[in-house]
Amino acid sequence: MSLSSVIPHADLTTMNTLALPSQAAYFASVDSVAQLQETLKWWKSQRTSLPVMALGGGSNLVLAGDIQRLVIKVDIQGREEVQEDDQFVWLRIGAGENWHDLVRHCMDFHLWGLENLALIPGNVGAAPIQNIGAYGVELCELFAELTAVEISSGVSVTFDRDACHFGYRDSVFKQRLRDRYIITSVTLKLRKEADLCWHYPALQQYFAERETEPETPLDIFAAVCEVRRSKLPNPAEIANAGSFFKNPVISDAQYQQLQQRYPDMVAYPQAGGKVKLAAGWLIDQAGWRGRQQGAVGVHERQALVLTHDGCGTGADLLALADDIKSDIYERYGVELEIEPRVYLGRPNAAE
């Protein structure tokens, strides 16, 4: 091995917000598309069977062991206005830019649409992977296109919105094209005119308590930041990966049965006659909130967030997640799905 930017046995413990102990077999940080392509070309020339993994801010990962991969930290910076018309500005952002810094930048320049997505940890390049969403807004609503380098060929390609197959916390990059591309830039289509979205109960309550209504996206931005700071543990203080489970979407028939047994169950109707349940409510009602299991636990204010005290492992966390999943299934007949990407520490394990 001899590309100087590739380091063997790199410690990833401080590079994942769950602070799980883990080493990468090989690690490289790239700050341009050319450097990424050069690294991939060199890796291919090594004829190794170890796969490649992209890393952003490490806030949506469970590292359960040492990672037998070349981990590439995508550190490509830059923000550029690429197009403008009467209503919109198209902004191209490097994949390594911090997400919340981007949201703040857009607020400063009165480019609207991202205000509900304030304070989501991580980097721009990971945002399309699970189509990040919060408080009634999803990335796909502001998304124009992205560029990505194919890992096997090193070729850079463009994906428009249709090609990304965005869904609820989902995209083609979590499904058919998983581990096939490294995203290098994302272009967003941001509004010049505000379109305020504050129907989520937490935001309604925020403004009701202050006997006011939001007038600009800056009011929404401030509200989202304050509500999030009051409810969610800061990963810098308590290691976590945000919501550990996706909200399950079930059939209306199943919901009607559950609703008879649990009239207070929190649920939201979805398109196509489905119903979204609040996974946090299910876990809370089952008595898991605040429970500690060795070095890992369920956060005391937010049952959807699993935490790690810094002395455990990914296996401890996955054991807790399994216990919660089994309990919820037994009680409600509802299957919970883990939201962060789980890396089991073996290259070909079913992750």
Select 8 or 136, whichever has its Cβ closest to ligand NAP: 136
Cβ(306)–Cβ(297) below 8 Å:
yes
Instruction: Pick from 64, 120, 317, 338 the residue near ligand FAD by CB under 6 A.
Output: 120
User: Which of 129, 275, 296, 320 lies at the binding interface for ligand FAD (CB under 6 A)?
Assistant: 129
Query: Is 178 labeled as catalytic in the residue annotation?
Result: no
Concerning whether 215 is annotated as a catalytic residue, the answer is no
- Near ligand FAD by CB under 6 A: residue from 22, 23, 39, 60: 60
307 binds ligand NAP (CB under 6 A): no
Residues numbered 313-342 forming contacts with ligand FAD, rule: CB under 6 A: 341
Q: Count other Cβ atoms within 10 Å, centred on residue 224.
A: 25
> How far, in Å, CA of 142 to CA of 133, rounded?
11
Closest separation between CB of residue 277 and ligand NAP, Å?
A: 9
**Among all chains, which residue has been given the structure tokens 């008879």?**
260
Task: Copy the structure tokens of residue 102.
Answer: 């981007």
Structure tokens at 192: 């010049």
Per-residue contact track with ligand FAD, 229 to 268, x per CB under 6 A?
Answer: ---x--x----xxx--------------------------
Nearer to ligand NAP, 24 or 132 (CB): 132
Q: For residue 96, give the nearest of 154, 156, 48, 33 by alpha carbon.
A: 33
User: Which residue, chain included where needed, has tokens 């996974």?
Assistant: 279
The answer to whether 61 touches 44, Cβ cutoff 8 Å, is: no
Query: What is the end-to-end Cα distance of the chain in Å, rounded?
Result: 27
- Which of the residues 133 through 152 are near ligand FAD (CB under 6 A)? 133-134
Which amino acid appears at position 145 of this protein? E
Max intra-chain CA distance, the chain: 64
The option from ligand FAD, ligand NAP, none interacting with 206 (CB < 5 to 8 A, set by class) reads none
Residue 329 is a binding residue for ligand NAP (CB under 6 A): no
Question: Which parts of this chain interact with ligand FAD (CB under 6 A)?
Answer: 17, 53-61, 74, 95, 120-123, 125-127, 129-130, 132-134, 182-183, 232, 235, 240-242, 341
